[in-house]
Structure 1
Amino acid sequence: MLGPHASQQSHESRSFPMRRGAFGLTTAILSSVLVLSGLEASPASASTTTYTMPATGKVTLSGHGYGHGHGMSQYGAQGAATGNWGTRGKTPLTWQQIVAFYYPGTKQATFAQTIRVKISADTSADVVIEARSKLQVLDVATGTFRSLPRNGATRWRLTPAAGGQTAVAYLIGTTWTTWLTLAGDAAFTAQGEPMRLFYDAGSRQYRGRLYSSRPSATSTDRDTINQLSLEDYLRGVVPSEMPASWNVNAVSAQAVAARTYAAYELQHPLAAYYDICDTSSCQVYGGYDAEWPNSNNAIDATKGVILSYGGKPAFTQFSASSGGWTSAGDASMPYLSSKSDPYDDVRYPDGTSANSHHSWTVAVNVADIEKKTGIGDIAKATVLMNDNHHVSKITFIGTKGRTYTVYGDTFRSWFGLKSTYFAITGRPTTTA
């Protein structure tokens, strides 16, 4: 999602495409609707400001941050870990101190389990993998494993067959031959070694098992599900969400946040046959091919560690950049608090800003706002901020008395803003 190489926003809400809040690390996030609709901040510190809108031309929005702002700022984690934030030269924080700052009130706990990930890139009904040693097929109904022969095949495939059966076939040259038909669902495994999965856009390697799973007992379609240990899953998540080259304490904090987020999802699975997705709507997961030694080391160094609240895994959302002020989550999650975040102003050793998302400006055409609202010429805009920083709602007042209220998240998606932490540049007419 951001300066580095990953995928944007990581944990937004189930009612929006983005749940996590991850990082601005890659461009994927920009295209998502970025807000946590179901987890709005508490209005306890709400304030309103009314601005006079120009009749024509543009209004300038002065903003901060990238993502929903809940929980950990990934740039902030890097700033805290290096000590290079603000005026620089501060005492670096450990990963334990970083997660304690961003998720106050949580406690460390341990967690180990397998997780089922829906592979979004594989949109076909079959599961096709590269032939390799140690391959087995699992008959899900009986729990029986059968070793696949080394017979000159280049690929193996699981294909839906009549009556909910699964055909196991192999490819030699250009000809597919059925080797076995199983009564129900099936999975491939290479006994702990990675397998290369082929799909329309290319291929990627995955650890664990690759299932051909029916969404329901009567479904004729299949989805590809990757089941593997939580620790192996993280190896494909952490470097997809944060540059593995970053400070080890920042990457370790990301590992703990990602592990905890996955643990939370395991207790709130997305479907009966899988727990989590592999996109920025959940956490970006790149499988075995995404792994890096540095992030693997950080995962191993924090093995099993999660953050708990009330004896359960916390909903550890994170985003690329808080812009200097984190956003509160649902009232039941007080560890997602609204507060100043000085670490987000991360600096390079020479003192220049290393976070291009910390502060930004966007010019929006008044005519485009009028077109979206449909109320004609706009005279004023009243902005409600739920924590004196993040826009909760904007009410536009037309010259003919008509009004239109839009949520800050929706306004953000209208104009591709990086966050809801923004203000209209100009002198307000009233403030309350």
Structure 2
Amino acid sequence: MAVTRTRILALAVALTGSVMTAPVTPTQAADATVKPLNGYVVVTGAGWGHGKGMSQYGAYGAADAGLSHEKILAFYYPKTTLSTLKSGNTIRVWVSADTDKMLNVMPSSGQRVRDSAGHTYTLPTGSKYRQWRIKRSGSKRVLQYLNSSSKWVTRTTKLTSSRVWTFDNPSRGIVTVRLPGSVSRDYRDKVALRFYGSGARTVNTVSMEHYVRGVVPREMPTSWHSEAVQAQAVAARSYAARYQSSPQTSIYDLCDTTYCQVYGGQDAETSGGNSAVAATPNQVLRYGSAVALTMFSSSNGGQTADGGLPYLVAKADPYDGRMRNQAWSAFLSSTRLQQAYPSIGTFSGLRVSARDGDGPWGGRADTVVISGSKGSVTVSGGSFKSKFGLKERLFGVFAGLKPGTANSDRWQDDEGGTTGRLGAPIANEVSVAGGLFARFAKGDLYWSKATGSRLLTGALAKAYRDEGGPSSKLGFPTADGKSSGSSTVGVFQHGRITCPSSGDCEVDLN
């Protein structure tokens, strides 16, 4: 059975070195119905992917903490043991980008086409032969070449047309496949056109070690710590070997996309990836006698998810947040929610109605209820995630400020969204004295063009509100409230407020 997984965006995400603090929002708050503020709710979460098995950022963090690839694997796949596959093992991979139901290859000296009965035809080269292809014709195969006049010409051979035909090159070891859109990609070993229903699919039969060399760089930056890349190599090899034992179809074992794991052929290989494969020759993880289903994702948000197997367990992950900030947020407007679920009418509220119970916010969202003037819709957490392009099901839902204001940006970026020191918004952002005021569970943000977005908390925030806020003679705060000795001090356009640790706050005007 195919397992959908999310590939790490390897080259697009920079390492920040920051560590996310686990949210402290109680589960019941996250699971109450959340009504929109300013026409928005905000979904704040952690992680990227399904969270089952190994976190790729976690593997990097674990390697940075000194763990070997063996210990990294033992942490993410407990109760498994390292084992070795038989040398010379091959795997069949569907090249999904080849969608024209033909197999086109570029000419190369020594290249040949073979049928499954053992007959061979060596392909001639020269200016006359610009491209070769195997094409399906009914229940048979036809060999053709593209000549110098850009016309396809059929070449008669002694190959058995009812047998499977395969391109390979014994001298080069690589076949250059011409994909739709005039894209060429190199594949090691051999490439065949396999009939599939009324059409055909391109299948690369390749040694397991060559296959893993084409996977690792597409799943993890191979410039990362070598122990992390080696852990990825073992996980990728195990994942593929598991599919071998239960192939997707009779003509191939697995696909080359994120629905299986990403494979780019020889073109994807890197020196770092090849070194990781060579350092873990034929290594796989087993649970008992069976190869383990070594699922992995980009980031688990500090909490692995239960994968329903003894070695895919839910537990806290101390390594996942070492190399990047796991937190993310998405603003969802009432209009967008109404368009996504038109049967609800006018959107009125959102509620996570069931969670798995493991991790922040009470765990990953299992079901979500979207309510409106005409009724409600209940969807799975996975469906909700996909509908809005969220990174994970590990999230909380809160009343949201309108995105794009300075206070909103600061709440998300500087203060950490609902996971930071301000917490969730508790009132609409409002215009005041030519600026903006936004109130949160643990503090207030005030913005004006002259002063920027400034934070006040605790007794200082209350004293300023009691004075009338920006509409008072104090004006807007010109800096965040700060501790000074045993007091907290706020500086404003026309004065200051001093709040001692005990006693009343004092207001001084300029």
Sort the TM-score into its range (normalised by shorter chain): 0.7 to 0.9
Give yes or no for contact 2:350–2:397 (8 Å, CA) kept in 1: no
Give the match for residue 244 of structure 2: 266
The structural deviation recorded for 1:242 is: 0.6
Q: Matched residue of 2:304: which SS?
A: coil
Q: Which amino acid aligns with 1:365?
A: S
Which of 41, 55, 70 is 1:59 aligned to? Answer: 41
Q: Matched residue of 1:224: which SS?
A: strand
Give the match for residue 341 of structure 1: 317
Aligned pairs (5 A) from 1:268-417: 268-330=246-308, 333-347=309-323, 355-356=324-325, 358-373=326-341, 374-376=343-345, 377-379=347-349, 381-386=351-356, 387=358, 388-398=362-372, 402-417=375-390
Q: Which amino acid aligns with 1:79?
A: G
C-alpha distance in 1, partners of 2:215/2:313?
A: 25
C-alpha distance in 2, partners of 1:291/1:327?
A: 31
Q: Which amino acid aligns with 1:130?
A: M
The structural deviation recorded for 1:20 is: 3.0
C-alpha distance in 2, partners of 1:54/1:173?
A: 67
RMSD value, Cα? 2.3
Give yes or no for contact 1:412–1:418 (8 Å, CA) kept in 2: yes
1:170 maps onto 2:140 in alignment: no
Q: Matched residue of 2:132: which SS?
A: strand
The structural deviation recorded for 1:394 is: 1.7
C-alpha distance in 2, partners of 1:209/1:379?
A: 56
Q: Matched residue of 2:32: which SS?
A: strand
The structural deviation recorded for 1:177 is: 3.1
C-alpha distance in 1, partners of 2:111/2:318?
A: 51
1:105 maps onto 2:79 in alignment: yes
Give the match for residue 34 of structure 1: none
Q: Which amino acid aligns with 1:408?
A: G
Scaled by the length of structure 1, what TM-score is found? 0.80
Give the match for residue 196 of structure 1: 176
Sort the Cα spacing of 1:240 and 1:50 in 2 relative to 1 into closer, same or farther, 3 A.
closer
Which of 113, 125, 139 is 1:137 aligned to? Answer: 113
C-alpha distance in 2, partners of 1:290/1:271?
A: 25
Q: Which amino acid aligns with 2:307?
A: G
Q: Matched residue of 2:31: which SS?
A: strand
Give yes or no for contact 1:47–1:384 (8 Å, CA) kept in 2: no
Give yes or no for contact 2:11–2:221 (8 Å, CA) kept in 1: no
C-alpha distance in 1, partners of 2:200/2:352?
A: 49
Give the match for residue 43 of structure 1: none
Larger radius of gyration, structure 1 or 2?
Answer: 2
Q: Matched residue of 1:414: which SS?
A: helix
1:72 maps onto 2:54 in alignment: yes
Q: Matched residue of 2:124: which SS?
A: coil
Please say which of residues 142-151 and 293-302 is displaced more in the overlay.
Answer: 142-151
* Cα deviations by residue, 1:205-234 (Å, 9 ceiling, x for unpaired): 101111011014xx3x22111111111111
* Cα deviations by residue, 1:349-386 (Å, 9 ceiling, x for unpaired): xxxxxx25x11112212343344343344356243210
Scaled by the length of structure 2, what TM-score is found? 0.68
Gaps of 5+ in 2: 13-26, 399-423, 427-510
**Aligned residues between the structures:** 371
C-alpha distance in 2, partners of 1:395/1:138?
A: 57
Give yes or no for contact 1:370–1:378 (8 Å, CA) kept in 2: no
Give yes or no for contact 1:206–1:226 (8 Å, CA) kept in 2: yes
Q: Which amino acid aligns with 2:174?
A: P
Give yes or no for contact 2:352–2:397 (8 Å, CA) kept in 1: no
Sort the Cα spacing of 1:47 and 1:69 in 2 relative to 1 into closer, same or farther, 3 A.
farther
Q: Matched residue of 1:180: which SS?
A: coil
The structural deviation recorded for 1:335 is: 1.0
C-alpha distance in 2, partners of 1:383/1:360?
A: 21
Q: Which amino acid aligns with 2:85?
A: F
C-alpha distance in 1, partners of 2:215/2:8?
A: 12
Sort the Cα spacing of 1:151 and 1:379 in 2 relative to 1 into closer, same or farther, 3 A.
closer
C-alpha distance in 2, partners of 1:259/1:47?
A: 42
Q: Matched residue of 2:344: which SS?
A: coil
1:186 maps onto 2:186 in alignment: no
The structural deviation recorded for 1:247 is: 0.8
Q: Matched residue of 1:364: which SS?
A: strand
Sort the Cα spacing of 1:72 and 1:172 in 2 relative to 1 into closer, same or farther, 3 A.
same
Q: Matched residue of 1:20: which SS?
A: coil
Q: Matched residue of 1:256: which SS?
A: helix
C-alpha distance in 2, partners of 1:273/1:367?
A: 46
Give yes or no for contact 2:104–2:179 (8 Å, CA) kept in 1: yes
1:159 maps onto 2:159 in alignment: no
- What is the identity percentage for the equivalent residue pairs of Structure 1 and Structure 2? 37
Sort the Cα spacing of 1:380 and 1:364 in 2 relative to 1 into closer, same or farther, 3 A.
closer
